[in-house]
Chains A and B, each alone.
Chain A
């Protein structure tokens, strides 16, 4: 499933970036670009977690299904592939591998408990969910004293708040 693993890189050429296929898929699933995803340092861990959790066969089918859908996750019809898409996205957004749907868990014949877990301490602090509303993961990446008083992106400036209300 992974070009970087399927063939050893020829000598004396530039080593390709890790897991380009997984990153491409992750970009489509998350809505974050390659630069942002690689910046988390989580690509390798999430790739390995996915393979470990559902197995290479299911991952291969998922990639085939996604290619068949033109690379658009909305076009995934097979419920197993769709649940893998949900799980990888959940992983990127929260750092948590989720419970699979019970039927998918059974269909895959997974020989492990169907439980949610935080993949690593760093995966929590690198969760993408916080970035979608211009915040930071609680307990990490503190934005500085008093920064919380300022408006987030897309919000009116504090000075305008009272006037807006008075006008309204």
Chain B
């Protein structure tokens, strides 16, 4: 990586907007192939030094609400949405403050982070693969959108992503329980992260037990299996035909990091960087990659023919008091890798790539239902990663025709997400659970408080049911000139709702949860009522539910095989502008039930191959002596006139 001074107008082979997971992989691959890459990052780069990491840790420790963005300092020049921007109202409905403007029936309660490393600084790190049927939901199950490519097209890229991100998992177990196809004999780079004690308790009580999501429905036999994770575990000596795997340490402090030591804070920050983050990839960038931070891409530049030749960006010094200088940079290829919502925002603001009218539409997430309870003995919550195992039974199958499929994650951090534990428990036991305006109870003190708190929190567990959300054109990002940020850029206006098939999936998940709670003998404490922390409350067929955002925004520059109905082609290249790519989860036509980062990485690695081919084509000598003039003219892509 180089940070040499630049001339007033920069000229590169590739410009990448965004130094998160997708952008870091693009810069890595293309830089290694000899292309000159400019990476423009809207946020700051404090995290890629060790003092920066320590500062983020202290910011996290001192934050009252330990939400995913808590460790990362606010930036007025490149604002990020925050999960606490959305608040539920006492009678249902919600109010939204902050970066997003929301006008939908239900809240989009997911965040992201604009800084080097991006949202993958605070991801959980789970990397299950999508299942083959997830790519054909329209043709196989009659909802959503099909992909123009299939699992087989991505399989080798999944393996590359698993190597680059350092995945730990058990391929044989995934193949059996989730039906994930791997090449014969494939092993993950590292052995699975050891399952939590809670996982082992649930496995002892659930493995082999049949459940039905409804009376008369098909029976499925439960099995608790480890979840692949991009988290340093014990390297598998069988990996890569016996060559093994050497885990990456921490960015900013070489030879530190190594295995997961159980800090129990994967979200929002892994203090030892045992969990993969894109900063690790950035440390291996070629010197041909130039990273410029504090550079907010404000517009993609195209000439009158629609040929994209660069970007305009706003460079600022102080994230607290942004004053900017406008600059431009030019390149043969522009790659937007700024998060699905930011990519859509940039395309809309630039008036590009939208001949299909699909830019910003099909916004998806993994709407998540939480159920929570107490077991009959301590289960060791708040020790180790947030989730190490799950149940794969409901990820596909015939029921998918009627309701959203879902993946069950066993959540190891007590009721922290579902009910704000242990802070809420301390407050309740002290008689302060009702807030400052309510009369307070007497409260417990001394040894009784200590024992009661330990006895209660020590038995807490939560199940997370992550729904596949079908692509719907009404769920969308738009722009409104009335809503701008401090640099004058248009803020995302979000219109979001859940389809009835997602709500049916949520209802089925609750029924499955009830059976699981019965089988494990758990005391159910789940409750869904409107309130400040229940922005996702809704009533469906007479029952109350609350859903959460998963931080898995997708679909907003959807991939397809027809320029009339999709934004990007199978290479994530915009149909309308052959030198403009939009990469990331925004390209996904369907998400399945897998946490999407691994699939995003695989898609991005596949796109890098095409970008390399495009660049090679653009850099070919123009005059071919033996070729007739007419054929040369035909062979040269239209955009070459600009290069």
Contact = CB atoms under 8 A, between A and B. Distances in A.
Are A and B bound to each other?
yes
Contact of A144 (B58, B262, B448): B262
27 contacts: A31-B447, A74-B442, A86-B431, A90-B427, A90-B430, A94-B423, A94-B426, A98-B427, A98-B432, A99-B432, A99-B436, A101-B440, A121-B57, A121-B61, A129-B425, A135-B264, A135-B383, A139-B269, A140-B61, A140-B263, A142-B261, A142-B263, A148-B388, A149-B196, A151-B378, A152-B458, A154-B378
B436 A102 contact: yes
Given A29-B445, A99-B436, A132 B450 contact: yes
Nearest to B269: A139
Interface in B34-88: 57-58, 60-64, 66
Interface residues of A, number: 63
Given A31-B450, A147-B383, A133 B61 contact: no
Nearest to A115: B64
Interface string A63-92: 000000000011000010011011001100
Contact of A161 (B204, B263, B447): B204
A134 B458 CA distance: 8
A116 interface: yes
B197 A149 contact: yes
Looking at B61, B440, B453, which has the most chain A CB atoms within 10 Å of its CB?
B61
Interface string A101-131: 1100100000000101110111011001110
Interface string B226-252: 000000010000000000000000000
A30 interface: yes
A143 interface: yes
A155 B61 contact: no
Nearest to A144: B261
B263 A139 contact: yes
A43 to B, nearest CB: 18
B197 A152 contact: yes
A154 B377 contact: yes
A99 B446 contact: no
Contacts of B18: none
Nearest to A73: B445
B118 interface: no
Contacts of A83: 440
Given A29-B446, A158-B197, A139 B264 contact: yes
B261 A133 contact: no
Given A118-B62, A125-B61, A146 B194 contact: yes
Contacts of A144: 261-262
A138 B413 contact: yes
Given A31-B450, A89-B445, A99-B435, A121 B457 contact: no
Looking at A86, A120, A134, A156, which has the most chain B CB atoms within 10 Å of its CB?
A86
Interface in B401-456: 412-413, 422-423, 425-427, 430-432, 435-437, 439-440, 442-443, 445-451, 453-454
Given A99-B436, A147-B384, A155-B379, A139 B265 contact: yes
Given A73-B445, A139-B271, A132 B457 contact: yes
A86 B432 contact: yes
B381 interface: yes
Contacts of B66: 138
B506 interface: no
B319 interface: no
Contacts of B62: 118, 120-121, 124
Given A133-B382, A152-B197, A152-B379, A31 B445 contact: yes
Given A31-B449, A89-B430, A142-B262, A162 B204 contact: yes
A161 B200 contact: yes
Closest 9 A/B residue pairs (Cβ): A148-B384, A132-B454, A133-B458, A31-B450, A121-B61, A139-B265, A152-B380, A161-B204, A73-B445
A46 interface: no
Contacts of B144: none
A149 B194 contact: yes
A142 B440 CA distance: 35
B256 to A, nearest CB: 13
A136 B261 CA distance: 12
B197 A134 contact: no
Chain B residues touching A, range: 35 or more
Nearest to B263: A142
B272 interface: yes
B445 A85 contact: yes
Nearest to B453: A132
B195 interface: yes
Contacts of B196: 148-149
B250 to A, nearest CB: 14
B385 interface: yes
Looking at A102, A149, A154, A156, which has the most chain B CB atoms within 10 Å of its CB?
A149
Nearest to B435: A99
B57 A139 contact: yes
Interface string A12-54: 0000000000000000111110000000000000000000000
Contacts of B261: 142-145
Contacts of B263: 138-140, 142
Contact of A151 (B197, B445, B447): B197
B209 to A, nearest CB: 10
Contact of A147 (B63, B262, B271): B262
Contacts of B14: none
A153 B378 CA distance: 7
B271 A142 contact: yes
Given A28-B445, A145-B259, A133 B457 contact: yes
Contacts of A73: 445-446
A140 B271 contact: yes
A11 interface: no
Contacts of A150: 197, 380
Contacts of B412: 148
A145 B200 contact: no
B264 A136 contact: yes
A25 B388 CA distance: 41
A62 interface: no
Given A31-B450, A139-B60, A148 B431 contact: no
Nearest to A141: B263
B378 A117 contact: no
